[in-house]
Structure 1
């Protein structure tokens, strides 16, 4: 292996969205040994920079599920979702009433004022057992301090739209509605309670391919570690795919190399510590 791609939520971050000092040191040591470290996440670049520790300096970032790719400050991909598609999906979701966040290039998150009631409804009450703690914590934090609910939103610079619901059946109905659309867009889910919409043909793998090409590397040189459905493309791309212990069972069945510990117990650090001993 010459490069390692790391998912963030549910992988290098614990359930409070913190990366451990041990893992930061381990990643730094790997980079000093010549390994390239890529962060591959559903978060936007602005969100990544707000969460990652300042001591961590990845060689590349695949953000917004592949909509953005950056290698040491050099922009390799910078995509947006078509406005016509966005307007159609916003109207369609008013029939389904899922919580949503419209993510823009400048790192802002928006929702329309007329949708405020059903946005709130999805986040009220106790956390359902099937919802991952880190995802629930994120939604509460975003609603309290990061989501701007407004009458008018500029849809020309949208990276993705994130949809969430406590009701798994409701999500499946929404996915079916998305699947019936003929418009060119891609969808991705990191859990059984969310789905995201991006530009057609985009995934973490498409952004990682740009990063690999930038550094003159091949997919077989890449190790990838993730925990959710939106990690499947990059795991399929990688020469050595690794799944977190806290990942769904179907993901573990598809990719049999699994970390011994979950994200809440510093699982990536423990795995990479053993990996460095193999090296």
Structure 2
């Protein structure tokens, strides 16, 4: 194995969105031994940089579910969603009333001011038991600190649109509606309570292929670790796919190698310590 691709939320981040000092130290040690470390996340590039500890320097980042890919200072992919598609998505969502965030290239999260009531409705009630703690914490934090409500936002630099609901049936109906749309976009879900829309043909797997090609690494030499449905393309790509113990059962059924510990108990650190460092 020559490279490790890591999801962030629910994987290397605990439910307070922190990377442990032990994992930071291990990642640095692995890089010194010649391993390449990639991050593959649904977060935008600016969001990744905001969350990352200053002393973690990945060799590559696949951000916004593959819409952006960078290797050091080299940009390998830099995609955006068509403005008309974004407007049609928001208009259609008004029939379903899911909470949503429009993520832009510069790191802003935007919603239309006219949708404020339906956004609040999704966040003011109690958390459904099936909503993961880290996702609920993120929504509350974004609503209170980051989400910008605008009358007529600029939609020319959108990298993805994120939809969330407490109600699984509501999400299923929304996914059916999205599936009936013939517009050129693709959907991906990191949990059973969200769905994200990106440009057609884009995924964490497509971005990782660019990173592997850039560093002349074969996919069979890649370990990929994730916990959600949006990780499936990179898990399918990797020679050694690994799923977090906190992942849904259907993902564990598809990829049988599972960490012994969840993200809340330093699962990635403990797995890599045994799988790579101690074998050295």
Gaps of 5+ in 1: none
Partner Cα distance (1:278, 1:121) in 2:
51
Partner Cα distance (1:182, 1:257) in 2:
36
Aligned match of 2:200: 200
Aligned match of 1:238: 238
Aligned match of 1:128: 128
CA offset digits 1:42-96 (Å, max 9, x no partner): 0000000000101100000000000000001110000000111111111100000
* Equivalent residue runs for 1:169-184 within 5 Å: 169-184=169-184
Aligned match of 1:139: 139
- Say if 2:275 is the partner of 1:277: no
* Equivalent residue runs for 1:190-269 within 5 Å: 190-269=190-269
Instruction: Give 1:278 shift.
Output: 2.5
Say which SS state the counterpart of residue 95 (structure 1) adopts.
coil
CA offset digits 1:166-203 (Å, max 9, x no partner): 00000000000000000110100000000000000000
After the TM superposition, which parts of structure 1 deviate over 3 Å for at least 4 consecutive aligned residues?
Answer: none
Root-mean-square deviation (Å): 0.5
Aligned match of 1:91: 91
- The two structures have a TM-score, normalised by structure 2, of 0.99
Partner Cα distance (2:146, 2:259) in 1:
33
- The two structures have a TM-score, normalised by structure 1, of 0.99
- Say if 2:165 is the partner of 1:159: no
Say which SS state the counterpart of residue 156 (structure 2) adopts.
helix
Instruction: Give 1:29 shift.
Output: 0.4
Say which SS state the counterpart of residue 55 (structure 1) adopts.
coil
Aligned match of 1:103: 103
- Say if 2:70 is the partner of 1:70: yes
Partner Cα distance (2:98, 2:261) in 1:
33
CA offset digits 1:140-173 (Å, max 9, x no partner): 0000000001101111100000000000000000
Partner Cα distance (1:124, 1:257) in 2:
38
Say which SS state the counterpart of residue 273 (structure 2) adopts.
helix
CA offset digits 1:256-277 (Å, max 9, x no partner): 0000000000000000110121
CA offset digits 1:13-34 (Å, max 9, x no partner): 0000000000000000000000
Say which SS state the counterpart of residue 213 (structure 1) adopts.
helix
Aligned length: 279
Aligned match of 2:22: 22
Aligned match of 2:116: 116
Aligned match of 2:46: 46
Partner Cα distance (1:31, 1:110) in 2:
36
